[in-house]
Structure 1
């Protein structure tokens, strides 16, 4: 979705459309494939979707005011901070007896862990009154289940219980961490670093060159954990929802 050699276009998101009961399209402008605002403007004007989820590099600081003039309601939805680690450079925690990371494929366990960990997570969906919290959480569960079906879901825990979960995109030379967290009752005990270690171990094993992760800029707690582990910030991305004005709920 987004920009490529053929131009800039919004691409339908059928899963989100079905989940939220309105037509949703996605348009992503990547820093490595730069696009002018004119290109984005044309893509927005050509779209008939109820909602366009637009993501673009945060250094395009003049874009939001221009987006607000395109005949849609522009909702500032979030600002993402991206962090990167070179595999092998992580500050690994000392081994903890009985604690391990394993590949998780059990659908029920994945759905339960996502619900426990991310029920209160303030994602970009929270900014839009058309997108309900229950449906947004179901979307995270679907996303995690796809990773699990591909063998790219890790669980952190003991023989008795799962304590954390990470879902991954492991294509090519990069491992991108899509979701990662520890269940609420186990937070604050240093377990998150063990989850990161499991991800780094798997990335090293397959010979990948980079681990990438992102979160909303307000989530400073997890960013401190990344910094302690050895991640470094590399970029920032803004998310804007462009909504047909007739669809906004008062």
Structure 2
């Protein structure tokens, strides 16, 4: 599990990632809480995707992103096939980088992927992400064991496509990362020729294994890969956990509070919840707590007051909410509610995320609230 600096910069959120065989929900929650993660991108082997139900224990909303199909080929056993078309492959450097980026914008303009599946990530930013990703393979003088390279694919002197690869001499592994053919130039085996060219290029360098990957719905390229000797060896299911623990469109608000014994008694009188964990110190201690614990919903009532009278204010409706409790809240101890609004729409809809923290900064609970302000 690691911080994704590039994606965080591109999308303006605190983004973490993990690609794994099994779902470790406790480790994911720990990472989210300790790093105030906004979006956690999880890829788990599709054969174990039933384990995604464990994410329900985390308390963070999540959505399905895509299924990534991974193919590989043993280049040592690969017999190069001749190209079908008269194509020129021009090494992409800073001088012709703009041509590469402009084609990437066209090729990936309507491309569906896990970014576009997340309603909180704009399609425009997704396209910019692919443009930036493509440009990272433009290097004038690669000089490390771990190398990247890109080409402009030309026919009759006109750029009609591109290819980007990386490879490592130490591991003997390479990857065809991003390929593209302009719509008006597709067909007649052009994409197959690009695949064949990159296969031969890496094999001639002594690279032993090469991989490619794409979303499951991208049938066309997978057919080509199969014809060109690749076989699918893995598939990953992608989900986004939209935690939004650090993002906020507006400055965050903080509310300091303590819960008194009289507040607990009033809440018990109002709701009829006289659970002895809230009312009887010795009983609570016998169950492993330091003393009586506060009703969990008392913090939510403080949020209700804030939303209804302060921000957004009078006329605000609660559309829905969920709360994940992590640590108990005790009487007469200082706590703080930290309230942010990662989503504010012009129609009055707002999504709020609130954290309940103790005096040591530990998160005791976090709450998701969907609101509508009627003007």
TM-score of Structure 1 vs Structure 2, range by shorter chain: 0.7 to 0.9
Kindly state the Cα deviation for residue 163 of structure 1 after the two structures are TM-superposed: 1.5
| Alignment partner, residue 202 of structure 1 | 201
Stretches of structure 1 lacking an aligned partner (at least 5 in a row) = 3-10
Q: Give the corresponding residue for 1:64.
A: 52
Q: Unaligned 5+ residue runs, structure 2?
A: 143-147, 245-340, 350-375
- Residue deviations 1:201-234, cap 9 Å, x none? 1111210111100111111111111111111110
Residue number in structure 2 paired with 1:241: 240
Contact 2:23 2:52 in 1 (8 A): no
Paired with 2:220 and 2:235, the residues of 1 have a C-alpha distance of 17
Q: 1:208-247, aligned counterparts within 5 Å? A: 208-244=207-243, 247=342
* Pairs within 5 Å for 1:116-131: 116-131=106-121
Cα distance in 1 between the residues matched to 2:83 and 2:8: 44
Alpha-carbon distance in structure 1 between the residues aligned to 2:190 and 2:76: 19
TM normalised by structure 1 equals 0.86
Answering whether residue 36 of structure 2 is matched by residue 48 of structure 1, we say yes
CA contact (8 A) 2:67 2:236 kept: yes
Q: Deviations over 1:181-220 (max 9, x none)?
A: 2111111221011101110111112101111001111111
- Superposed, 1:4-153 pairs within 5 Å as 11-29=2-20, 31=21, 36-87=24-75, 89-90=77-78, 94-96=82-84, 98-105=86-93, 106-149=96-139, 150=142, 152-153=149-150
5 Å matches for 1:121-200?
Answer: 121-149=111-139, 150=142, 152-171=149-168, 172-200=171-199
Kept after mapping to 2: 8 A contact 1:89/1:230:
no
1:35-80 Cα distance to aligned partner (Å, 9 max, x none)? 7554444334434111111112112223221113312111110110
Q: Give the distance between the partners of 2:85 and 2:128, measured in 1 at CA.
A: 34
CA contact (8 A) 1:90 1:229 kept: no
Whole-angstrom distance in 2 between the partners of 1:184 and 1:89: 33
SS in 2 for 1:59: helix
Partner of 1:6: none
Indicate if the aligned counterparts of 1:103 and 1:153 stay in contact, CA closer than 8 A. Answer: yes
Question: Which one has a bigger Cα radius of gyration?
Answer: 2
